[in-house]
């Protein structure tokens, strides 16, 4: 995910567009190339280590198992070997599955820790099944009494993402994103209406929403980057003619606003029946525009029972500080709240050779070559949550106080020693 931003975004006109951006703008809903690039060989080898792990598990634990993984088995037989990967705080999206042998945890005998949070190991992404909209980790006819999460703007599927953690906990996860394995566009009215219907019909214990935030980005204030599209005074966009946005820029803001409005409506419908939700977006502080300054977010935040928690993603292994806010309802995010950057100041070197001191390397205007060999803004990688943050979010979600989740916890709680 994103869960994160970047997923539903229209191209940034003032940038030299990457191949990915071009492809995305041309055919947003059908563009599947970027998230599982063939060049990395990821799709073909992606599941291999799972099978290997299970083979090892078969020998080690003499448990009856087959190579084909199902999330259901994960629940009944929490397998320490599935927690094969160590935290890689620098890059939660790294694919350790591609080639390197699976590593086993020295402390893997402790099977009581089911989400790897304490052990520092990350779960694999599930095998996605096409859903009526987006993708699900479990066929709907097998959902049964499992607790369920709907994640809007989940980003591309990757090991250690939020869906992987929820999947390992035995949850049903439905993900909706242009970059999901089965892409879905929330701007599509049919898709959107069906989602709203399902939310109203209490399908999901928790709704998580990570609305794309590019049009709010403060990077837009640093020339020669793309121009700002919003301001503190005009959080809904610099729409009047005096601001002289181009047609493409106006469309970009309007598309983003549609997604903000639909995020708000989805959340309000979820709260209305008493379901839990979170809404995530960057926190730019008092002096800069961000989602939290818009009417969409303000309307949600003022609903009784909605809390806001704020923290810095570097405390969860993020590459930069990335101050972040979560509006939340019926979820306990108190463990995240207030965790602010506590890192030492270090010296960094800019691309032009000059040195500067900071707590984290500045990614503004920096470009990198991504896994697919394409040039992209260094800040792009920041759109995805670090795995450690996903562990924390999923832990809060799994503790939600809905009937389904309560029952599930009772049934699947670890037996006392």
Beta strands 172-176 and 148-152, pairing class: parallel
Among 341, 364, 378, 395, contact with Zn ion (rule: CB under 5 A) = 341
Task: Find the binding residues for Zn ion in span 27-86 (CB under 5 A).
Answer: none
- Contacts by residues 87-91 (CB-CB < 8 Å, ≥ 24 positions apart): 87/120, 87/121, 87/122, 87/317, 87/387, 87/388, 88/122, 88/387, 89/317, 89/386, 89/388, 90/317, 90/319, 91/381
With contacts defined by CB under 5 A, name the span among 34-42, 79-87, 288-296, 309-317 that binds Zn ion: 309-317
Minimum distance between the CB of residue 341 and Zn ion, rounded to whole angstroms? 3
Minimum distance between the CB of residue 163 and Zn ion, rounded to whole angstroms? 26
Among 314, 382, 398, 400, contact with Zn ion (rule: CB under 5 A) = 314
Taking the least distance from each CB to Zn ion, the nearer of 266 and 313 is 313
Q: Sketch the per residue contact string, 377 through 416, with Zn ion: x for CB under 5 A, - otherwise.
A: ----------------------------------------
Q: Which whole-number Å values give the CA distances from 142 to 70, 139, 145, in the listed order?
A: 11, 5, 9
Minimum distance between the CB of residue 323 and Zn ion, rounded to whole angstroms? 10
Minimum distance between the CB of residue 86 and Zn ion, rounded to whole angstroms? 21
CA–CA distance, 409 with 412 (Å, rounded to integer): 5
Taking the least distance from each CB to Zn ion, the nearer of 146 and 388 is 388
| Number of amino acids touching Zn ion (CB under 5 A) | 3
Minimum distance between the CB of residue 343 and Zn ion, rounded to whole angstroms? 4
Taking the least distance from each CB to Zn ion, the nearer of 130 and 343 is 343
Minimum distance between the CB of residue 165 and Zn ion, rounded to whole angstroms? 23
Minimum distance between the CB of residue 9 and Zn ion, rounded to whole angstroms? 26
Minimum distance between the CB of residue 22 and Zn ion, rounded to whole angstroms? 34
Taking the least distance from each CB to Zn ion, the nearer of 343 and 375 is 343
CB 394 within 8 A of CB 162: yes
Taking the least distance from each CB to Zn ion, the nearer of 102 and 341 is 341
Taking the least distance from each CB to Zn ion, the nearer of 143 and 348 is 348
CB 208 within 8 A of CB 280: yes
Taking the least distance from each CB to Zn ion, the nearer of 259 and 363 is 363
Residues near 182 by beta carbon (within 8 Å), at least 6 away in sequence: 128, 129, 130, 131, 134, 135
Among 343, 346, 375, 407, contact with Zn ion (rule: CB under 5 A) = 343
Taking the least distance from each CB to Zn ion, the nearer of 43 and 285 is 285
With contacts defined by CB under 5 A, name the span among 76-84, 220-228, 312-320, 408-416 that binds Zn ion: 312-320
With contacts defined by CB under 5 A, name the span among 70-78, 113-121, 248-256, 336-344 that binds Zn ion: 336-344
Minimum distance between the CB of residue 339 and Zn ion, rounded to whole angstroms? 10
Taking the least distance from each CB to Zn ion, the nearer of 226 and 282 is 282
Minimum distance between the CB of residue 374 and Zn ion, rounded to whole angstroms? 28
Taking the least distance from each CB to Zn ion, the nearer of 218 and 323 is 323
Taking the least distance from each CB to Zn ion, the nearer of 271 and 314 is 314
Decide: is 340 part of the binding site for Zn ion (CB under 5 A).
Answer: no
With contacts defined by CB under 5 A, name the span among 9-17, 27-35, 68-76, 340-348 that binds Zn ion: 340-348
Minimum distance between the CB of residue 392 and Zn ion, rounded to whole angstroms? 16
Q: Sketch the per residue contact string, 264 through 303, with Zn ion: x for CB under 5 A, - otherwise.
A: ----------------------------------------
Binding residues for Zn ion, rule: CB under 5 A, are: 314, 341, 343
């Amino acid at each position: 995910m994103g869960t994160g931003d970047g997923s539903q975004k229209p191209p940034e006109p003032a940038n030299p567009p990457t191949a990915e951006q071009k492809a995305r703008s041309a055919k947003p809903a059908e563009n599947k190339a970027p998230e599982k690039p063939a060049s990395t060989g990821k799709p073909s080898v992606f599941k291999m280590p799972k099978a290997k792990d299970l083979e090892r598990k078969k020998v080690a634990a003499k448990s009856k198992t087959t190579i084909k993984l199902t999330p259901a088995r994960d629940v009944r037989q929490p397998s320490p070997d599935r927690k094969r990967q160590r935290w890689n705080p620098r890059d939660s999206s790294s694919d350790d599955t591609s080639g390197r042998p699976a590593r086993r945890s020295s402390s893997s005998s402790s099977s009581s820790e089911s989400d790897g949070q304490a052990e520092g190991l990350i779960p694999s992404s599930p095998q996605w099944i096409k859903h009526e909209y987006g993708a699900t980790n479990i066929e709907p006819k097998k959902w049964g009494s499992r607790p369920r999460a709907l994640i809007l703007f989940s980003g591309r599927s990757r090991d250690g993402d939020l869906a992987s953690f929820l999947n390992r906990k035995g949850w049903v996860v439905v993900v909706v994103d242009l970059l999901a394995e089965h892409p879905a566009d929330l701007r599509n009215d049919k898709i959107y209406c069906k989602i709203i219907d399902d939310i109203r019909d209490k399908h999901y214990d928790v709704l998580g929403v990570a609305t794309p935030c590019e049009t709010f980005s403060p990077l837009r204030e640093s020339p020669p980057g793309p121009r700002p599209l919003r301001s503190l005074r005009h959080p809904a966009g610099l729409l009047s003619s005096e601001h002289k946005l181009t047609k493409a820029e106006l469309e970009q803001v309007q598309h983003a606003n549609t997604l903000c409005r639909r995020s708000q409506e989805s959340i309000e419908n979820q709260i209305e029946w008493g379901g839990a939700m979170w809404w995530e977006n960057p926190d730019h502080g008092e002096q800069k525009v961000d989602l939290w300054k818009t009417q969409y977010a303000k309307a949600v935040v003022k609903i009784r029972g909605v809390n806001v928690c704020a923290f810095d993603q570097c405390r969860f292994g993020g590459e930069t500080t990335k101050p972040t806010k979560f509006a939340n309802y019926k979820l306990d995010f108190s463990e995240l709240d207030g965790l602010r950057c506590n890192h030492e100041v270090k010296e960094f070197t800019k691309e032009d050779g000059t040195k500067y001191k900071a707590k984290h390397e500045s990614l503004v205007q920096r470009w990198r070559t991504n896994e697919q060999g394409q040039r992209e803004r260094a800040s792009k990688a920041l759109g995805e949550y670090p795995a450690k943050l996903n562990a924390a979010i999923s832990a809060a979600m799994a503790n939600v106080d809905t009937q389904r989740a309560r029952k599930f916890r009772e049934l699947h709680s670890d037996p006392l020693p």
